[in-house]
Structure 1
């Protein structure tokens, strides 16, 4: 087996460290203060490694948001797996899990609360330019929903999934109630669309 060359930097490990450093710096000081030089120092890599691993600053911003979204995807999957035989409680759990995580997510709060200058640069990645994030979430939820028997045309199911995901994202960005109350409301809407009994969408204890 060939020996590892001295000074070799694993690109996958470096990328993870760089993205983690970017999240830390953004939460601490705001995105506008995150420079490639400062990022290299914090991550313990060379500046060239930063560019090689993540590309431009815009690429870094997108990678940061998508990497952080993996935490939310895990919670969504957990919600569905906790109710493998009943779609409505699964959706309720997935939505509530997501909103609970959002309440304590430092990066999300840093992005949403930014109100001036370049700090708002990350906000479009969660709103007007959220296609990569939205697309990933739709695929994940569609994959889980496909495991349930639903008496509805595929295009209608896709429309329901789109409604749930967009509604949940809206409440992630601007919550108007507790996670459970929001999950109750979204579950009630799904129950109405699917023709299920209203009491199945009632609040979970």
Structure 2
């Protein structure tokens, strides 16, 4: 399943003569995601109406139905949008600390945990205000999203540390993906530095994978 293009922020252009004109310079799909995000900061998911999202995005309700099919289809697409944005940021953090896998992991995990606290749809899930269909996206029906995230993270690991065996890289990426989804469903239950703790546990495996392929075997 292909995720939608990353969301960008933009000011909304109001008009009375063209009520279904998307936000100036923004593709309709991106405008819908931005509108949904804004609405969710004030409105629980159960009260969100597609008509409201369409009006705020500057598109017709039929456009939303054509692109997403239903409220759940919109939420699912938004979840993939958020996942891709998170993966992009994680990949950037890994690349910025390529010389230290532990620092890379700690930075990426801290960014992820902080970002989940700011995303309105994730907050609705964590606060128990999401419909059961949304909960299944990150629990019993999380398989497709998990595979998508794991694939993106495995690609990032391979690009930052090309010496890592692909099988090990995929296993590591899948572990991180599962952790990420679990923290979307339930936020950290402690005030301790969760990112540092996770990095302390996970970094040795990544460091070993990097070192194993970096050290040349003895000649002869």
Shift of residue 124 of structure 1? 1.6
Question: CA 1:122–1:37 in structure 2 vs 1: closer, same or farther (change >3 Å)?
Answer: same
- Give the direction of change, closer, same or farther, for the CA distance of 1:172–1:55 in structure 2 (3 Å limit): closer
| Conservation of the 8 A alpha-carbon contact between 1:79 and 1:94 | yes
TM-score, structure 2 normalization: 0.70
Contact conserved, 1:83 with 1:89, CA < 8 A, in 2?
yes
Deviations 1:49-75 (A, max 9, x none): 222232222211111111222331232
- 8 Å CA contact 2:86–2:112 kept in 1: the answer is yes
Aligned to 2:180: 168
Q: Which residue of 1 aligns with 2:76?
A: 62
TM-align CA RMSD: 2.9
**Is the CA contact 2:76–2:137 (under 8 Å) kept in the aligned structure 1?**
yes
CA contact (8 A) 2:35 2:53 kept: yes
> In the alignment, which of 139, 149, 158 is matched to residue 170 of structure 2?
158
For structure 1, which runs of at least 5 residues remain unmatched after alignment? Answer: 1-6, 197-205
Which of 21, 27, 32 does residue 35 from structure 2 map onto? 21
Tell me the distance in 1 between the aligned counterparts of 2:203 and 2:79.
31
Counterpart among 114, 118, 121 of residue 100 in structure 1: 114
Report if aligned partners of 1:30, 1:119 keep a CA contact under 8 Å in 2: no
CA distance in 1, matches of 2:206, 2:36: 43
Query: Would the aligned equivalents of 1:31 and 1:122 in 2 still touch at CA under 8 Å?
Result: no
Aligned to 2:190: 177
Q: Which has the higher helix share?
A: 1
Q: Give the TM-score normalised by structure 1.
A: 0.75
Instruction: Kindly state the Cα deviation for residue 150 of structure 1 after the two structures are TM-superposed.
Output: 5.0
> d(CA) in 2 for partners of 1:138 and 1:77?
12
Count the aligned residue pairs.
187
What SS does the corresponding residue of 2:141 show, helix, strand or coil? coil
**How far apart in 2 are the matches of 1:166 and 1:88?**
19
> What residue ranges of structure 2 are gaps of 5+ in the alignment?
1-17, 209-220
